[in-house]
């Protein structure tokens, strides 16, 4: 069964106190008005918060996620945080290849594959982000771009390992802009991605793969987006910093 997920990406927001409070507020809302227990609730928090937020949500249904990981296993890599370190504080999943990391930190497909490998080696899930910039869409090149991102980063994985990866389609022009892809645009691309996965890994794996949409998901557009056949939930930036908005999005399935 394909897992439905509401994932929040806090990016570089909140200090530790605010982060713990936000995680606890989300939990309180989920306790007060429970939503379908099958729906995954994910928060990708800043690295400085991971260990403390892990404790704060220890007994809850919330899945602790990191926003980044080193592509090496260990050693003289000042400032980096390894997958094993993340695992050791209770992290269950890692965002890989967010467009901000691709654009500002020069992350290539090759680096992303290495990062996903580290994540899988440590029994965590990878949430692999892909998506085109506006120029690509205007030039009607968006399918090519996304196909290459998926192929280059993911096609080296085995049928076993690919099942530990969640894909998040995030058109870059919709991230943090308030412009959302229409539900038809999201559905069209998600179906296309699922087909790419099917062609390489087979129908069963493709059918069971969770494909999230990201890009200005808000409480008032989540329901329509999530009702699309191939949209299995959302990766939410701005709206995930407000516990009520994030709860409403999670309750939109």
Catalytic hit among 100, 142, 170, 190: 170
Opening angle at CA 56, ends 55 and 60, nearest 5: 100
The nearer residue to ligand PEP, 107 or 170, going by C-beta atoms, is 170
The nearer residue to ligand PEP, 20 or 129, going by C-beta atoms, is 129
Annotated active-site residue 207? The verdict is no
Per DSSP, what are the bridge partners of residue 94? 66, 126
Q: x/- contact string, 96-135, with ligand PEP (CB under 6 A)?
A: ----------------------------------------
**How far, in Å, CA of 195 to CA of 70, rounded?**
30
Q: Which stretch binds ligand PEP (CB under 6 A): 119-127, 150-158, 201-209, 215-223?
A: 215-223
For ligand PEP, the nearest residue by Cβ is 237
**How far, in Å, CA of 178 to CA of 52, rounded?**
31
**How far, in Å, CA of 15 to CA of 19, rounded?**
6
Catalytic hit among 49, 98, 142, 190: 98
Annotated active-site residue 170? The verdict is yes
**How far, in Å, CA of 174 to CA of 50, rounded?**
27
* 172 Cβ contact list (under 8 Å, min separation 6): 99, 103, 131, 132, 133, 134
- Count the site residues for ligand PEP by CB under 6 A: 14
Q: x/- contact string, 156-195, with ligand PEP (CB under 6 A)?
A: --------------x----xx-------------------
* Residue-level length of the chain: 253
Q: Which stretch binds ligand PEP (CB under 6 A): 16-24, 31-39, 159-167, 231-239?
A: 231-239
* 152 Cβ contact list (under 8 Å, min separation 6): 109, 110, 113
233 touching ligand PEP, by CB under 6 A: no
- Nearest partner of 149 among 215, 183, 101, judged by Cα: 101
Just list the catalytic residues: 98, 170
Instruction: Summarize as ranges the residues that interact with ligand PEP (CB under 6 A).
Output: 9, 11, 170, 175-176, 214-217, 235-239
């Amino acid at each position: 069964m394909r897992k439905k997920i509401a994932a929040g990406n806090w990016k570089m927001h909140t200090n530790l106190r605010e982060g713990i409070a936000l995680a606890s507020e989300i939990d309180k809302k989920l306790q007060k008005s429970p939503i379908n227990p099958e729906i995954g609730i994910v928060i990708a928090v800043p690295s400085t918060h991971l260990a403390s937020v892990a404790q704060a949500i220890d007994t809850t249904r919330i899945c602790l996620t990191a926003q980044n990981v080193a592509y090496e296993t260990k050693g003289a890599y000042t400032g980096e945080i390894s997958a094993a370190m993340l695992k050791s504080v209770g992290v269950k999943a890692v965002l890989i290849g967010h467009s901000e990391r691709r654009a500002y930190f020069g992350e290539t497909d090759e680096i992303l594959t290495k990062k996903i490998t580290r994540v899988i080696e440590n029994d965590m899930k990878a949430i692999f982000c892909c998506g085109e910039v506006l120029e690509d869409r205007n030039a009607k090149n968006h399918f090519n771009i996304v196909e290459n991102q998926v192929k280059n980063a993911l096609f080296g994985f085995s049928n076993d390992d690919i099942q530990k990866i969640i894909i998040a389609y995030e058109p870059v022009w919709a991230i943090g802009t308030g412009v959302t892809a229409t539900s038809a645009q999201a559905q069209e691309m998600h179906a296309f991605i699922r087909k790419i996965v099917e062609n390489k890994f087979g129908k069963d794996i493709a059918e069971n793969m969770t494909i999230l949409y990201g890009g200005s998901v808000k409480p008032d557009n989540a329901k329509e987006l999530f009702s699309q056949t191939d949209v299995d939930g959302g990766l939410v930036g701005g709206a995930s910093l407000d516990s009520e908005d994030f709860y409403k999005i999670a309750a939109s399935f």
